[in-house]
């Protein structure tokens, strides 16, 4: 019985991740703001984002929801490449800054550029945290903590659904 439950959970996770990946690709195709080269700050209303993004991506990016731990497609990934904001295409992290934190979300110790992200105090759920937002479109990416590896000792704990990845060629 335990094996059946275990395999059912694995199959369901695979199914939901596959659906999420397909939705994310479809979202990028209809998103007029997605660019990996344009660095201009975006001023787009949440109402407009609601029409562009999938419901799952909108909930995380614009409403600061969090995907369940150990379910995102990048939490275990170990491939050389670059992580971008899935909402606007802004370059965020190099895979060389990714590390296995065992927290269940993709974790990085530094951003690609100083202004790739911005920070905002987050006092939700009775906690004192620092929210990490995309430096171009202000989308919620995750949170930053002071328990990462050297040299920065930072842990950028990000949601996979708001990340887009391109493998190094």
Task: Render the burial of 30-65: b for 16+ CB within 10 Å, e for the rest.
Answer: ebebbeeeeeeebebeeeebeebbbebbbbbbbebe
Marked catalytic residue, from 85, 88, 134, 157: 157
Q: What is the pLDDT of residue 22?
A: 46
DSSP 3-state assignment of 122? strand
* pLDDT tens series, the chain, 169 aa: 545 433 444 434 444 444 444 444 544 568 999 999 999 999 999 999 999 999 999 999 999 999 999 999 999 999 999 999 999 999 999 999 999 998 999 999 999 999 999 999 999 989 999 999 999 999 999 999 999 999 999 999 999 999 999 999 9
Q: What is the pLDDT of residue 148?
A: 95
In this structure, which CATH number among 2.170.150.20, 2.40.160.20, 2.60.40.290, 1.10.3720.10 belongs to the domain 2-167? 2.170.150.20
DSSP 3-state assignment of 169? coil
Q: What is the pLDDT of residue 21?
A: 45
Q: What is the pLDDT of residue 30?
A: 86
pTM comes to: 0.82
DSSP code per residue over 37-106: S--PPP---HHHHHHHS-HHHHHHHTT---PPTT-STTSS---SEEEEETTT--EEEEGGGEE--SSSS-
Q: What is the pLDDT of residue 9?
A: 40
Q: What is the pLDDT of residue 160?
A: 97
**Spatial distance between the Cα atoms of 102 and 169, rounded to a whole number of angstroms:** 28
Q: How far is CA 69 from CA 92, 125, 157, in A?
A: 21, 17, 11
Domain boundaries, the chain: 2-167
Q: Is 88 a catalytic residue?
A: no
CB neighbour list of residue 152: distance below 8 Å, 6 or more residues apart: 109, 110
**Spatial distance between the Cα atoms of 119 and 140, rounded to a whole number of angstroms:** 10
């Amino acid at each position: 019985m335990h094996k059946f439950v275990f395999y059912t959970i694995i199959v369901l996770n695979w199914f939901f991740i596959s659906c999420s990946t397909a939705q994310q690709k479809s979202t990028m195709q209809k998103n007029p703001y997605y660019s990996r080269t344009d660095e201009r700050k975006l001023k787009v209303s949440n109402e407009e984002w609601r029409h562009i993004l999938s419901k799952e991506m909108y909930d995380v990016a614009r409403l600061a929801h969090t995907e369940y731990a150990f379910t995102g497609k990048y939490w275990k990934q170990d491939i050389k490449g670059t992580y971008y904001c899935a909402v606007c295409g802004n370059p965020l992290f190099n895979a060389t800054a990714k590390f296995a934190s065992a927290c269940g979300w993709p974790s990085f110790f530094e951003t690609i550029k100083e202004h790739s992200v911005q920070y905002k105090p987050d006092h939700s759920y009775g906690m004192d945290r620092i929210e990490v937002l995309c430096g171009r479109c202000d989308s919620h990416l995750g949170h930053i903590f002071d328990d990462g590896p050297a040299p920065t000792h930072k842990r950028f704990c990000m949601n996979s659904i708001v990340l887009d990845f391109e493998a190094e060629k």
